[in-house]
Amino acid sequence: MLVAALLGAALDLRSVSWKGLQQRLRLGIPSGTVWFWAAALSGFMHGGTWADIFAVAASWFALWKEGTRQKWLFVAILIGMLVKRNARIVQPTLQSVRLFDPSGFHSEFFSHFGPNDFMGILLHGTWWIPVYYAAVMLVCNIGGEELWWRGYVLPRQELAFGRAAWVVHGICWSAFHLFMQPTLWDTVRMAITGVALSFVAQRTKSTWPGIVGHSFGNLPFFLSLAKGVISQ
């Protein structure tokens, strides 16, 4: 996806100018407001009571810094947060809807992400593993997904769907992860995250909030590996 994003942007521009690629992929230097939105998205994607409170506060500061008078937007953000936090009410029902049997590769793959081993390699004392994983995660996983989806695809979807592009984009991004969503609950849960991510990306016209927020969203995987490395 990282390569596809760079190639797609270069083909659109008919140029390999780094300045042009930065502009096309929305990688320009972020403003202070963009960083507030990045902080809000990070809290939302990381999850937890304090992280969610932080996300609401950061989104309020972002709107305040924008000078917007759209109070309904902050109310909508609060409602979105409440939906996220209370979605577990329907979890048992949605989990009963199986999309595929996770007992094969899916279960085997995710059961070896720490804290005892990583893909069959014992974690204790092996510091190169979290370093390797962090590099792969930042460049290939987060870098690839964000440059392709938020940097390349979203601007094109905005041309087709206008102000509603973030909704379409968030659902599409969630569907992209169907291979790791064995139940309908997993799909709905990721769709909530995806819609929030795409909302911020479209509002800021920047790929950076997605990169930062995605990093915090994937942080538990890294912490699980680090915990295994330092375990006795």
SS (H, E, C) the chain: CHHHHHHHHHHHHCCCCHHHHHHHCCCCCCCHHHHHHHHHHHHHHHCCHHHHHHHHHHHHHHHHHHCCCCHHHHHHHHHHHHHHHHHHHHHHHHHCCECCCCCCHHHHHHCCECCCEECCEECCCCCHHHHHHHHHHHHHHHHHHHHHHHHHHHHHHHHHHHHHHHHHHHHHHHHHCHHHCCEHHHHHHHHHHHHHHHHHHHHHCCCHHHHHHHHHHCHHHHHHHHHHHHCC
Q: What span, in angstroms and rounded, lies between the C-alpha atoms of 150 and 165?
A: 11
Q: What span, in angstroms and rounded, lies between the C-alpha atoms of 115 and 123?
A: 7
What one-letter code names the amino acid at 9? A
Handedness of CA 172, 173, 174, 177 (dihedral sign): positive
Q: What is the pLDDT of residue 113?
A: 75
Q: What is the pLDDT of residue 12?
A: 93
User: Contact, 80 vs 191, CB < 8 A?
Assistant: no
Q: What residues of the chain score a pLDDT lower than 70?
A: 232
Q: What span, in angstroms and rounded, lies between the C-alpha atoms of 2 and 149?
A: 10
Q: What is the pLDDT of residue 112?
A: 76
Q: What is the pLDDT of residue 111?
A: 79
Q: What is the CA radius of gyration of the chain?
A: 19
Degrees to nearest 5, angle at CA 130 with 128 and 134: 115
Q: What is the pLDDT of residue 67?
A: 85
Distance of CA 57 to the CA centre of its chain: 19
Q: What is the pLDDT of residue 164?
A: 95
Q: Which residue has the tokens 């595929």?
A: 100
Q: What is the pLDDT of residue 232?
A: 54
Q: What span, in angstroms and rounded, lies between the C-alpha atoms of 37 and 68?
A: 14
User: Contact, 118 vs 129, CB < 8 A?
Assistant: yes
Q: What is the pLDDT of residue 88?
A: 86
Q: What is the pLDDT of residue 153?
A: 97
